[in-house]
Amino acid sequence: MSDDPKNTTRRDFLKTGAAASIGTALAGLALSAPSEARAGEARSQFKTKPIETVRVGFVGVGGMGSAHVQNYLNIDGLEIKAVCDIVPAKVERVQKWCKDAGKPVPTGYSKGPLDFKRLCETEDLDLVMTATPWEWHVPVSLAAMKNGKHAVTEVPAAMSLDDCWELVETAEKNGKHCQMMENCCYDRIELMTLNLVRQGILGEVLHAEAGYLHDLRDVKFSSEGEGLWRRAWAQKLNGNLYPTHGLGPVAQCMNINRGDAFDILVSFSSPTRGLHEYAVEKFGPDSPQAREKFVLGDVNTSLIRTKLGKTIILIHDTNLPRPYTRINLVQGTKGLAHKWPDRIYVEGKSAKPDSWDDFEKFAAEFDHPLWKAIASKGEGRGHGGMDYIEDYRLISSLRKGEPLDQDVYDAAAWSAIVGASCKSVAKSGRPIEIPDFTRGLWKTNPPLGIITP
């Protein structure tokens, strides 16, 4: 199947007369909609019946998977029923954690890379979470939904446009949630910026800048963890391979899929130097690592235009020496908020004209209520507390039967930057259309509000 969204494929049949006879529920609703879904209801507001105790299965319990497990052991209203990993010792470690916490011991699955299918087919679960290498995010999520489970996945949700579509269509067909666990949407400054936007302090948001700029050379050449698989992606794709940490928070501020939508992307990559030079220096010029060939440009810069003509600059830089940043700039008609360094300027409210203020000046009034209520519970639990808030919100929403903060259309649109940027780079910066996974419902979907515990 081609990645070109203009091709006539299953995603386009909604526009044909034949599709009309199937019913309007196809346009953004689950094809087999649960009883609580109403005809014509925006899929961003999709919800299922409340689940008193959320039964969870984990697939992949390395670094991030283990972090989620630890969070779940400290959140009420769930039971870890099953755990799957290709390394038996990791399964046993999670089982011990559950036992030591006074919880039931989950069933273990470790019979090879496809054993997640057996988990999804045999376990009585409400939710399957995957924190595997990227190539397994889509297969695990599809297996979960096709077997009647909600699916959540680590980032990015998919590495191609076709896989993004398959997540959307499978979620719709089976009436299941499919959420990408973008933890950066729950960091303090990002939440405060969203609150400032919702309160109108920054005016109308017209532009944003974001990215993932993180020196991962040591990680990519590690003999364990992500080093076992992440470097391989730099050998086969050239584009923005990890867009969602920076993009997710600004997409929420700009109401993507909920009042606006991505439209066109152009993308360029620099030459590739960083990984080779690192390998030569660390392992020697005649080492196997130094003989590896890479195609991923060290710095990828993409420009996104939205349906309403607003703009986003997005950068990916993981192969060069540099301090960490996600940039995170949101520019409105009345001012702008910026992270790394944390600073803000609001016309008429800042201490001096054309001078930055410290974010803390605005914290007393605009710290997000979700952060104020929950952040302390997440202290010491990963990435400054945002991981815990992310996990808490997911379980809380499922238990209450509420729409999730991020839905399958967000997972698809934010992850689509991978496939779209690679296509644009390969075509010397040619504009690439980013599919409208909501099929027009972005025009009426309500924006994400100020969520509370």
Which tokens go with 317?
């830089």
Which tokens go with 221?
């050449």
C-alpha to C-alpha distance for 272 and 324, rounded to whole angstroms: 19
C-alpha count within 13 angstroms, C-beta hemisphere, residue 139: 14
Q: How far are the Cα atoms of 63, 168, 213, 442 from residue 323, in angstroms, in the given order?
A: 22, 36, 8, 36
Residue with tokens 């992307």: 265
Say if residue 52 is exposed, middle or buried (CB neighbours under 10 Å; 0-12, 13-18, 19+): exposed
The helix (run of H) or strand (run of E) holding residue 336 is: strand 335-338
Predicted pLDDT at 453: 81
Q: By the 8 A CB rule, do 55 and 79 touch?
A: yes
Domain borders along the chain are 10-181, 185-375+404-443
Predicted pLDDT at 380: 75
Encode burial over 149-172: b for 16+ CB neighbours within 10 A, e otherwise.
Answer: bbbbbbbbbbbbbbbbbbbbbbbb
Predicted pLDDT at 43: 64
Q: By the 8 A CB rule, do 261 and 416 touch?
A: no
Closest CA to 164 of 87, 67, 72, 262: 262
Q: Does domain 10-181 have CATH number 3.40.630.30?
A: no
Closest CA to 45 of 190, 230, 228, 257: 257
Encode burial over 382-399: b for 16+ CB neighbours within 10 A, e otherwise.
Answer: bbbbbbbbbbbbbbbbbb
Q: By the 8 A CB rule, do 442 and 260 touch?
A: yes
User: Can you say how many angstroms the Cα of residue 41 is from the centroid of all Cα atoms in its chain?
Assistant: 24
Closest CA to 389 of 406, 364, 401, 409: 406
Low-confidence residues of the chain: pLDDT under 70 = 1-44, 382
If DSSP codes are grouped into helix, strand and coil, which group holds residue 392?
A: helix
Encode burial over 114-134: b for 16+ CB neighbours within 10 A, e otherwise.
Answer: ebbbebbeebebbbbbbbbbb
C-alpha to C-alpha distance for 28 and 19, rounded to whole angstroms: 13
* Ramachandran sector of residue 6 (left: φ over 0; alpha: ψ -120 to 50; beta: rest): alpha
Predicted pLDDT at 379: 78
Closest CA to 162 of 32, 10, 269, 30: 10
Closest CA to 328 of 251, 252, 266, 250: 250
Q: Which fold has domain 185-375+404-443?
A: Dihydrodipicolinate Reductase; domain 2 (3.30.360)
pLDDT in tens, 367-392: 999 999 998 887 777 687 899 999 99
Rounded to the nearest 10°, the torsion over CA 248, 252, 254, 256 is 80
